[in-house]
Structure 1
Amino acid sequence: MPENNDRINLLLEQYINKTISESDFNELFDYISKDENRHIFDDFMKKVDKISLPDADVHHIDWQQMYDNIVAGKKEKSRFAILVTIGKTITIAASLIMTMYLGYKFFNKQPVDYAVQTTAKQDLVPGSNKAILKLADGSEIILNNAQNGVLTQQGHSKVSKSNDGLIEYNEQTANGEETVYVNTLSTPRGGQYKLMLPDKSLVWLNAQSSITFPSAFTGKQRKVSVTGEAYFEVTKDKTKPFMVETGSSSVEVLGTHFNVNVYPNEENAAITLLEGSIKLNHNNSSKLLLPGQQAIYNAHSSGIELKRVDLDNVVDWKNGLFIFEDASVAEVMRQIERWYNVDVKYIGKTPDIKFNGVISRNNNVSKLLKLLQAAGNIDFKINEKTIEVKQINK
C-alpha cells in the first residue's frame, strides 16, 4: 500500500510544518491509530529522531509505550492520553506525536473543545492581568481596578495603563538633575502583567512575581531586581548596560531577549537567552550565554550549568501556554498553584509521572486536570481553593 504510506508521511510532514488542516489532522489520527499503519509511524519517527537528535540511539526509545498511548481507549480519550508518559523520559520526536491534538489547536490558534465531564466539586478560572504597583511613597495602585490612562507621575515619568495589561513609563525630558523614584510592580498568584520601562524595554511578569525599578535610568547602568519569573526584551544602549539582580545572582545585558526564572520554591533557578548575549554572575562564578542556552544554578552553591533548550518551552507562558517537557507532577502542580491561585495537597505518595504536552493557560483548572488525569493512575479533587492529588493504585 505505497499510496497509503505516502499519504501518512505527507500528513505527518504537514503537521510538523504547521500547515495541516483540521480534516487532514483527523485523517492522520485515524491512520496512526490502526495497527496495520504502525510500521509507517515507526519509520517516520525514526527519521525525525535522527534529524532532531543525531546522537540518539533510536533503538532505546520505547515506541510501543508511546504508540499504545495513542491508540488506547476511546478516540477522544486517546487524544488526551498522548500528553503523558508514565515514569519514563521521551525524546523530542516522541513528544511531537504526544502533543499532536493540542499542538494542532495551538498552531492554528483555535480553542480546544475537550467535551469532557469534570468530576470537580468546584472549578477555578485561569489567571488574568492582575498586579499591584507600589510607588516610592509607599502608596499602592491595584491595576486591575484602575481606569485606563495616566495613573500618576513619578519624577519626570508619566505612568499610564492601557486596556491590554500594559503599564508604561514615559520619561519626559528632564531639565537639570532628576530625582529618581523606586517603584515595584508585583503580580499575585493568578496574575500576570506587562511593563514598559522608562528606556522602552519590555518586561512580562508571570504569576507571583515582582520587578523593582527606577522611574528613570540615571548613571552608568540600568538596574532592576526581579523575583519569580520575568521575560525581558531590552532596548539596546551600549553606553548604559542593563542589569537584572535576582538575589544571589545578576545578569549583565546590553540589549537582548531573555527569561529569568528564580522562584524560591523551585529547586534551581534558570536564566534562558533567546537573542543577543548576556553574562550571568552567581556567587563566585560567571558564564557567558549564547542564544538557545539556559543557565541552571542553585542559590546555595556557586556552580552554573549551561545547556541548550527548546525556547518555546521556556517562554510560551507569556503567550498563554503551558508547555510541559518531561515535567514531574510536582513541577506541573507548582505552575498550577501560581496560575490558578490554589494550594496543592498530596494524598499519600506523589505520583511518578512525566507530562509532555501543550495546554492553553486559558482553560478552567478542571479541563487542565482532566487532561493530566488521562495518565491513568492519578486523580485530582478540587476542594474550594485546594487541589488534592492522589496516586491511583491499579
Structure 2
Amino acid sequence: MQKDPHKLLEKYKSGNCSEEEKAIVESWYLELERQQAPAHEVITKSKDQVWTSLAEKTTRPLEKTASGKVYLFKAAAWAAVVFLVVSVVYLTGNRQKDVPMANGSAKDDVVPGGDKAFLTLANGRKISLTDAANGEIAKEAGLSITKTADGQLVYTVKEDTETSTNLLNTIETPKGGKYQINLPDGTRVWLNAASSLRYPAKFVGDKRMVTLTGEGYFEVAKNREMPFIVKTAGQEVHVLGTHFNINSYADEGSVKTTLAEGSVRVIPAAEAEKITLKPGEQSELDNKGIKVKKADLEAVLAWKQGDFIFDGEDLKSIMRKVARWYDVEVIYKGVFDHLKFGGSISRSKNISSVLGIMEETGSVHFHIEGKRITVTDTTK
C-alpha cells in the first residue's frame, strides 16, 4: 500500500487503487456520510482505525525492547488524519484540489522559507550565503570556505597550520531561512529558521566549543580526545560523537535536547546534576529545573525532513513555528489555550495550506493580510 496517504487519495481518484486500498479510502467517506458530523469530530473518532490500517502496511522497526519490537509509524498515521480532512474536499463533491485557503486574497498568500543564511567571518566580513555563487567564497588563516552545489557550507582546513582560537565565525538564518554547514572538524549542523551558530575557524585544544541560539540538529564527528560542547541558554551539552537536536528559542520558555543516537550529557548551568540521555529521550530545561521524558523523534526532527508534525500541540506553539518559517507576524483575537491540533504537512506548502487544514476543523479562523496573520476563535 502507498505509504503516503496523500498519494493514496490521488491513486484512488485516478482509479488505480487495489481493493484493499479502495476499501480504506471509501471507509473514510462512508464514515463522514453516516455521521453527518463536522470533519474534525469524525477524525477524532476514526483515527485509531486509520492508524491500524496504515500501521499494518507501513510500520518499520525502531528499536527492540524486552517485550519485543517498537514500531515507528506515527508520521504516516497523522498524515492519514490530516488528509482525511483534505479528502472531505474531494469526496463530498467540492472541485477544489487543494485545502481551502485561509481567508485573504491569493496575492496575500505567503510562500515557505528556504536556504537562506548569513556568514560573519572573524574579521567582520558578512557574506550572504543565499546570494553567494557556488565554489570558494572566503579564505581565512589556514582554511577555505566553500559553498557546494546543493547549498552546504564546507570548511577545508590545511594541516599543520596555526589558527587562533579567537577566530570565531557566526552563521545565522533569518526567519524564513534554514541552512546546513559542515564544520572544520567534519561535524554537520542543520540550522532551523531564526537560529545562529558561533564556532571557531579551527578546533584546537582539548575541546570543540560552539554556541547555539534557536534550533539545530547536530551530527558530531567522533573525536574522543576532544569532546564537542554545545552551549545554549542555561546549559551545555557534551558529546564525543553522536546525533541530537537542540531547541533553544527564547520564546519557547524552555530548552529541549533530544537524542537520536549515541549518548550526550546535559549540564544545566544552575545545577550540579548532570543528565545523561539515551536514544529516544528528551531533556527539557526551564525555570523550574530539568526533566527527562521519552521523545517523539519524528515530530522533533520533522523540520529537518521538511515537514510540520503536530501531535496534540497547542495552537500558539504551532503558530510560533509557522511564524518563524514563513516570516510572519501573528495576532490573536480570543483565548486559545484550549485548542490543540494533530497532523502532518510539508513545509514546502504555502502558508494558506497549513492554516487551511486547521481551519477545516471549524475551531479557528485565519485572516492573511500581507505578512500579518490574524487568528480568531470560532468555538465561542
TM-score (normalizing by structure 2): 0.79
Q: 1:148 and 1:16, CA in 2 relative to 1: closer, same or farther beyond 3 A?
A: closer
1:292 aligns with 2:280: yes
The residue identity in structure 1 corresponding to 2:258 is T
**Residue deviations 1:81-138 (CA, integer Å, cap 9, x gap):** xxxxxxxxxxx9998655316579xxxxxxxx62535532211000000001011111
SS at match of 2:304: helix
2:160 paired with 1:174:
yes
Structure-2 change in CA distance of 1:342 and 1:32 (3 Å): closer
Contact 1:157 1:170 survives alignment (8 Å)? yes
TM-aligned CA distance change 1:97 to 1:213, over 3 Å: closer
Per-residue deviation, 1:223: 0.7
Secondary structure of residue in 1 paired with 2:23: helix
Change beyond 3 A, Cα 1:131–1:28: same
The aligned residue for residue 139 of structure 1 is 125
For residues 196-207 of structure 1, the aligned pairs below 5 Å read 196-207=182-193
| Number of corresponding residues | 329
SS at match of 1:150: strand
| 2:12 corresponds to 1:27 | no
Q: 1:98 to 1:158 in 2, by over 3 A?
A: closer
Query: SS at 2:224's partner residue?
Result: coil
SS in 1 for 2:341: strand
Distance 1:354 1:314 in 2: 17
The equivalent position to 2:208 in structure 1, one of 222, 225, 236, is 222
Distance 1:374 1:269 in 2: 32
The 5 Å alignment of 1:301-312 reads 301=288, 303-312=289-298
* 1:281-333 deviation per Cα after TM superposition (whole angstroms, max 9, x unaligned): 002132000000000111x34x2111111211111211100011111000000
Question: How far off is 1:348 after superposition?
Answer: 2.2
- 1:145-160 matches, within 5 Å, as 145-160=131-146
Is 2:116 aligned against 1:120?
A: no
Q: Which amino acid aligns with 1:129?
A: D
> What's the CA shift for 1:185?
0.2
- Equivalent residue for 1:3? none
Partners of 1:35 and 1:242 lie apart in 2 by 53
C-alpha separation between the residues in 1 aligned to 2:313 and 2:211? 28
Cα deviation code 1:325-372 (max 9, x no counterpart): 111000000001100000100012226221111110000001111111
CA distance in 2, matches of 1:65, 1:18: 16
Matches of 2:372 and 2:280 in 1, distance apart?
Answer: 37
Match of 2:38 in 1: none
| CA–CA distance in structure 1, aligned partners of residues 146 and 75 of structure 2 | 42
Letter in 2 for 1:31: S
- The sequence identity of aligned pairs, in percent, is 35
- The alpha-carbon deviation at position 165 of structure 1 amounts to 2.3
**Gaps (5+ residues) in structure 2?**
12-16, 35-40, 50-71, 85-96
Distance 1:118 1:280 in 2: 41
Gap change, CA 1:383 and 1:269, over 3 Å in 2: same
Per-residue CA deviations over 1:27-68 (Å, capped at 9, x if unaligned) read 3121244359x9xxxxxxxxxxxxxxxxxxxxxxxx977236
Matches within 5 A, 1:332-371: 332-350=318-336, 352-371=338-357
Change (3 A) 1:120 1:163: farther
| 2:236 is aligned with 1:250 | yes
* 1:239 corresponds to: 225
Q: Which amino acid aligns with 1:271?
A: T
- The list of structure 1 runs, each at least 4 consecutive aligned residues, that deviate by more than 6 angstroms after superposition, is 16-21, 68-71, 92-96
2:58 alignment counterpart: none
Q: CA RMSD in A?
A: 3.1
Secondary structure in structure 1 of the residue aligned to 2:211: strand
Q: Structure 2: which amino acid aligns with 1:315?
A: L
Q: Which residue identity lines up with residue 116 of structure 1 in the other structure?
A: P
Listed as ranges, the gaps of 5+ residues in structure 1 are: 1-10, 39-62, 72-91, 105-112
C-alpha separation between the residues in 1 aligned to 2:306 and 2:279?
23
More divergent stretch after superposition (311-320 vs 189-198): 311-320
Amino acid of the residue matched to residue 325 of structure 2?
A: W
In structure 1, the residue matched to 2:79 is 99
